[in-house]
């Protein structure tokens, strides 16, 4: 069965510092991995996805994520955090079969302090 | 974010009311989804429509009834709801050709409160 874990409920970082939001997954076969962001009173916005190829994926708003097969992780990163990055971040995974659903993590709240 | 729109944005209803949520996508997609988002719980997939056909019903109670008249519109009809049904209801759409890389795009959600 597929699953995804976001081990931190909240991540706090000072503006200008690098940020990391962690995600680990479990899936049979090759994973398809996604990151979404949710601002207050808004829906989920797609940030980036890993399908195949280069392990470092670049996405919207300066975010990137690194796929690590041996550690079954897909951590979201940004070199320099902005206060406006404060939001709820969701990792999601799908297995390689057409019947596999997109499974979301419970979310990590990122708080960037000025 | 205007690619997928949802109305109303907020809804308060009593347990005996009947109401409907509406979703419209302007992305030319063929698949549409309803999700339920409750505090401190993972996103719950409720229904999936692919080319107007329902392909997924994730054991959702019958008091929730979806309708997909065409690939651009999706409704969720609500009747005799319970207070625990209070949540943010999110609609999403995707290309829908079944590939695992198919990316879902979400609407802003309807905040539902059941009294």
Backbone angles phi, psi at B25, to 5 degrees: -115, 140
Contacts A49 to B, Cβ<8 Å: 101, 103
Chain A residues with CB under 8 Å of B104 CB are 46, 102
A42-58: pLDDT as tens digits: 889 999 999 988 999 99
Using a CB–CB cutoff of 8 Å, tell me whether B45 touches chain A: yes
pLDDT score recorded for residue B34: 96
Nearest CB partner across the interface for B101, out of A32, A43, A103: A32
Q: What is the pLDDT of residue B102?
A: 85
User: Residue range B18-26: average pLDDT?
Assistant: 96
Q: Are A21 and A109 in contact, with CB atoms under 8 Å apart?
A: no
Average pLDDT, chain A: 93
Find, among A64, A57, A70, the residue nearest to A24 by Cα.
A70
Find the residue in A nearest to B100 (Cα): A96
Looking at the DSSP bridge assignments, the partners of residue B44 are B36
Count other C-beta atoms under 10 Å from residue A76's C-beta. 26
**A108-113 vs A56-58, strand pairing mode:** unpaired
Taking contacts as CB-CB distances below 8 angstroms, the residues of chain B near A53 are none
What is the pLDDT at residue B97? 67
Q: Which of B1, B63, B34 is nearest to A60 (CA)?
A: B1
Q: What percent of chain B has pLDDT over 90?
A: 75
Provide the pLDDT for residue A40.
87
pLDDT tens for residues B1-13?
Answer: 579 999 999 999 9
Inter-chain contact B106–A32, Cβ cutoff 8 Å?
A: no
- Restricting to B residues 65-84, those with a Cβ less than 8 Å away from any Cβ of A are none
At B68-97, the pLDDT tens digits run 999 999 999 999 999 999 999 999 999 886
Question: How many CB atoms are located within 10 Å of the residue B78 CB?
Answer: 20
Q: pLDDT higher for B50 or A79?
A: A79
Average pLDDT, chain B: 91
pLDDT of residue B98: 63
Confidence (pLDDT) at A114 = 95
Q: How do the pLDDT tens digits run along chain A, 114 residues long?
A: 789 999 999 999 999 999 999 999 999 888 999 999 999 888 899 999 999 889 999 999 999 999 999 999 999 999 999 999 999 999 999 888 777 788 999 999 999 999
**For range B23-44, the mean pLDDT:** 92
């Amino acid at each position: 069965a597929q699953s995804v874990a976001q081990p931190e409920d909240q991540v706090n970082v000072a503006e200008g510092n690098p940020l990391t939001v962690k995600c680990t997954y479990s899936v049979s076969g090759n994973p398809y991995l996604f990151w979404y962001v949710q601002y207050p009173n808004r829906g989920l916005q797609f940030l980036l996805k890993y399908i195949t190829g280069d392990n470092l994926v670049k996405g919207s708003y300066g975010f990137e994520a690194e796929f690590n097969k041996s550690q079954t992780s897909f951590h979201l990163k940004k070199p320099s955090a902005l206060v406006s990055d404060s939001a709820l971040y969701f990792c999601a995974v799908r297995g390689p079969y057409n019947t596999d659903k997109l499974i979301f993590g419970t979310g990590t709240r990122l708080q960037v302090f000025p | 974010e205007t690619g997928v729109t949802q109305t109303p944005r907020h809804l308060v209803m009593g347990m005996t009311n009947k109401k409907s949520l509406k979703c419209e996508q302007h992305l030319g997609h063929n698949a549409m989804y309803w999700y339920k988002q409750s505090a401190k719980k993972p996103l719950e997939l409720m229904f999936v429509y692919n080319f107007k056909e329902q392909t997924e019903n994730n054991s959702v109670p019958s008091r929730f009834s979806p309708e997909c008249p065409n690939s651009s519109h999706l409704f969720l009809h609500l009747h005799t709801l319970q207070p625990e049904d209070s949540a943010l209801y999110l609609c999403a759409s995707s290309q829908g050709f079944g590939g695992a890389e198919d990316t879902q795009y979400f609407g802003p959600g309807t905040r539902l409160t059941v009294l």
